[in-house]
Chain A
Amino acid sequence: QVQLVESGGGVVQPGTSLRLSCAASGFSLSSYGMHWVRQAPGQGLEWVASISYDGGQKFYADSVKGRFTVSKDTNTLYLHMDGQRREDTAMYYCVRDLSLATAWPGYWGQGTLVTVSS
């Protein structure tokens, strides 16, 4: 059974760094593309970053490029966030591709909330 559990959210000050984690179980992270998607309070969904199954390709939204880094190890997906801004306040979701042969974000974690505030 696919399970994704995010952690690492909290209240942080502008300009600081934070690392989110997503613990994956029920499948091998080395076989699937993974994504981070966020949702600001009361707003719509925003795709943030993706990493290929082998970690060789990484893609970022323009709004986070140069500040956020996506990575993964055997069982955990990460999102390292530098230079936090108030507009980064959001629920952050970890998402797995639907299947080995497709790139559809299909399985979602429950999210971890990041609040950027002084």
Chain B
Amino acid sequence: AIQVTQSPSSLSASVGDTVTFSCRASRGIRNDLAWYQQQPGKAPKLLIFGASYLQNGVPPRFSGSGSGTDFFLTISSLQPEDFAAYYCLQTYSYPHTFGQGTRLEIK
């Protein structure tokens, strides 16, 4: 199974900051990676698919990049509603695998 390592596990930042999370796959997965945001007590929400394609309705301050084994999610100009948990998911092969998650906290 492909392992996906997400980092950091947690991050503190302030409103207005720009932050970047990363996911590394144990082998090449082309661009078959998605990013999700999860607010406490809520279901996850798809932000980015195909490594860099923004899901409809997601603000453009979210962006994804990368291919192969290294992927990044960048949030520019953090808003209060962005403080949440973020997960990546590889869909290149089964079993699909999530990263361990990054918890974004207010500094």
A residues whose Cβ falls under 8 Å from a Cβ of B: 35, 37, 44-47, 50, 59-62, 93, 98, 102-111
Contacts and interface: CB of A to CB of B under 8 A. Distances in A.
A111 B43 contact: yes
A108 B91 contact: no
A59 B44 contact: no
Contacts of B91: 103-105
Given A98-B46, A102-B49, A111-B43, A59 B100 contact: no
Given A44-B99, A104-B50, 11 more contacts: A44-B85, A46-B98, A47-B98, A50-B94, A59-B94, A104-B34, A105-B34, A105-B89, A106-B49, A108-B43, A108-B45
A47 B45 contact: no
Contact of B95 (A44, A47, A105, A110): A47
Given A104-B49, A106-B49, A108-B45, A45 B101 contact: yes
Nearest to B95: A61
Contacts, number: 58
Contacts of A47: 89, 95-98
Contacts of B43: 93, 108-111
B98 A105 contact: no
A63 B97 CA distance: 12
B87 interface: yes
Interface-centre pick from A37, A45, A98 (highest chain B CB count, 10 A): A45
Contacts of B1: 62
A33 to B, nearest CB: 10
